[in-house]
Structures are given as C-alpha cells and as structure tokens.
Amino acid sequence: MPVSSAKTLLLSCRSFNRRQRTLMVVALTTVCLLALLCGGLLLGEEGLSTNLTNRNMPPSLSYPLGTDWLGRNMLARTVQGLSLSFAVGLAAASTSAFIALVLGLTAALGGKRLDAAITWLVDLFLAVPHLVLLILIAFIFGGGITGVITGVTLTHWPALTRLLRAEVLQLRSAEFVLVSRHLGRSRWWVATRHLLPHLKPQLLVGLILLFPHAILHEAAITFLGFGLSPHRPAIGVILSESMQYLSAGSWWLAFFPGLALLIMVRTFDVLGDNLRLLLDPHSAQE
C-alpha cells in the first residue's frame, strides 16, 4: 500500500530534513505507479481468461482479491484496469496540459480579442457540468477508448488554462520582462526565455494533479457505460459489472477494485503535492 508505507517511512525518518523527506515520498510514489504500469503491461492477457471451476471464490491465498462469476482472477483484472486507467490518464492529462499551455499563452500574449475569446471558452466549459460534457464528447467520438481519451482530454484544460493565463499576465507586467521588452527583445524571445521557465513548475504540478481527475472521470464514464467494451478490464467496467452480483453476496468484486482506485488516485495526489513543495521557490529550500 504505497500511501501508508510512505507514511510509516516518513515517521521513522524524522531525522531527515523536509526536502529529503519530500524527495523520498516523490521517489516512492513514482516507483509504485511505475510498478503498477509495468505490472499491467507484463500481465498481458494472463489471468483474464475464464476458469469455470473457480467461480465466485472469496479472497484467499491463491486468489488474493478473489475471482468473479466466470472464474477470472480479480487481482489480474484490477491491475489491468488500473494500468489502463493510468494510460488513459497519462494521454489525457498531458494533452490537456499542452492545450492549457497553448491557450494560456495565447490568451495572455495574443491581444485583447483573443484573450476575450479564450476566457469566454474557459467560462463556457467550466459552466457546463463536467460529467455531462464528458459523456457528450465521448458519445460524439463514438465511445470506446478514443471516445474516452478525447472526452477526458477536451474537458480538463480550462482550470489550468485560467491559472497559466493569470500567471503570464502577472509576469508580463513584472519589471524584468518590461525591461527586456524595452531593450528590444521580441515577443517570442521573451515568451521562451522569460515566461516559459516560470511556467514550468505550474505546468508540471498542474499535469500531475490533472491525473487523478482524469482517472476518476475515466472510471466514472466507463462505470456509466459510455466508455470501453464491457468485457475489457477497466476499473469503471469492473465496478459496474460487480453491481449485479452484490445482491448475491460477492462483495469482494466491488470492494478491492474500488479501494485500489482510491489508493492510486491518492498516490497521485501525494505525488503532486510533494512535487509542488519541491518546485515552488517559496518552499523548495525548506
């Protein structure tokens, strides 16, 4: 369990300073997440095939998370589901961050009309309920994995865009930028040499913190049935499937995958918070 082990480690190494501890947490969470991803890739189709002699087995030593009504190993399915969520999250979060960067820079540097247009777009996207928008977009793009990634990508950029725009606006009026402009540097030069380095920590932390959002939304729309093919081991699919069997008493089908999702999301959260501590000039040297 990445979070709790990280915490016990934290308690036992009070002797380290804040920066060292933060670094350790970052390293630990990264390793956990990478292990999960690799686990999903290495497992492949293994353990997903049906095995009718071992149906509906509660958690045991040979099947730590039990088996489902077709005898499929729930541990394998959960790891597969999480790594699929991870991949979807990665694709969606990085594309979202890229869109946010481009729009944020354009809004702040591109003149009044462009700024008004982009601000209006941000307001529009923030005003529509997120899940509804997500479902609409996923539906328009024909569902499936493309639909899910496009949907998640196209709905997660507005908050970060707004943040980056404000940051650029503030930077633009900073004295060193003004001086640089008066010294005759081009807009492009100022944007790449002065603005981008300042935006890097915002962008990186923003990206990491988009992850849990993207993953939860992916799980939510696959749970509602707008996403992936229903036998694919995605966390949302696993959870919605298990609903049918809860009344029959198979509690482990929903409990462990749900817990695993919670832990993974929380791990990303911890990673993002600690990265912010490291990268933010105010707290970086504590």
Partner 1 sequence: MSNKMIWFCLLLFSLAWFPITGCGGNRNRVEREGRPADELVLAVGGEPEAGFDPTTGWGQYGSPLFQSRLFRRDNNLTLVNDLATAYEISADGLTWTIRLRADVKFSDGMPLTAEDVAYTFATAAASGAVIDLNNMERVETKDAQTVEFRLKQPQSTFMNLLARIGIVPKHAHGSGYALRPLGSGPYKFVQWDKGQQLIVEANPLYHGQQPYFKRITFLFMSDDAALAAARAGQVDLLAVPAAFARLEIAGMRLLYLDSVDNRGIMFPFVPAGGQTKEGHPVGNDVTADLAIRRAINVAIDRQTIVEGVLDGFGSPAFSSSDGLPWWNPETVIRDADLEQARRILADAGWKDTNGDGILEKGALQARFTLLYPAADLTRKALALVVADQLQPLGVKIDVVGKSWDAIQTMMHSNAVLFGWGSHDPLEMYNLYSSKTRGTGWFNTGFYINTVVDGHMARALSATSEEEANRYWQKAQWDGQTGFSARGDAPWAWLVNLDHLYFVREGLSLGQQQIQPHGHGWPVTANITEWRRKE
Residues that bind partner 1 (CB under 8 A): 49-50, 52-53, 55, 69-71, 209, 212-213, 216, 219-220, 223, 225, 229-231, 239, 241-249, 251, 254-255, 258, 261-262, 265-266, 269, 273
185 vs 266, beta carbon nearer partner 1: 266
Of 208, 96, 90, 110, the closest CA to residue 161 belongs to 96
b vs e for 167-178, b when ≥16 Cβ sit within 10 Å of the residue's Cβ?
Answer: bbeebbeeeebe
b vs e for 70-104, b when ≥16 Cβ sit within 10 Å of the residue's Cβ?
Answer: ebbbbbbbbbbbbbbbbbbbbbbbebbbebbbebb
> Residue 212 Cβ, how far from partner 1 at the closest point, in Å?
5
> Residue 162 Cβ, how far from partner 1 at the closest point, in Å?
14
| Distance separating alpha carbons of residues 30 and 34, to the nearest angstrom | 6
> Residue 230 Cβ, how far from partner 1 at the closest point, in Å?
4
What are the E-state strand segments in the chain? Answer: none
> Residue 179 Cβ, how far from partner 1 at the closest point, in Å?
36
> Residue 135 Cβ, how far from partner 1 at the closest point, in Å?
15
64 vs 230, beta carbon nearer partner 1: 230
Angle at 128 between CA 168 and CA 261, to 5 degrees: 85
103 vs 226, beta carbon nearer partner 1: 226
Residue 165 region, left (φ>0) first, then alpha (ψ -120 to 50), else beta? alpha
Q: Answer for the pair 91, 37: CB distance below 8 angstroms, yes or no.
A: no
79 vs 271, beta carbon nearer partner 1: 271
111 vs 225, beta carbon nearer partner 1: 225
> Residue 268 Cβ, how far from partner 1 at the closest point, in Å?
9
Considering just the CA atoms, what is the radius of gyration of the chain in Å? 22
Residue 87 region, left (φ>0) first, then alpha (ψ -120 to 50), else beta? alpha
Q: How many CA atoms does the CB half-sphere of 121 hold within 13 Å?
A: 20
> Residue 78 Cβ, how far from partner 1 at the closest point, in Å?
14
161 vs 195, beta carbon nearer partner 1: 161
109 vs 267, beta carbon nearer partner 1: 267
Q: Answer for the pair 218, 89: CB distance below 8 angstroms, yes or no.
A: yes
> Residue 59 Cβ, how far from partner 1 at the closest point, in Å?
16
41 membership: H or E segment, kind and range: helix 18-43
Query: SS3 of 284, please?
Result: coil
141 vs 255, beta carbon nearer partner 1: 255
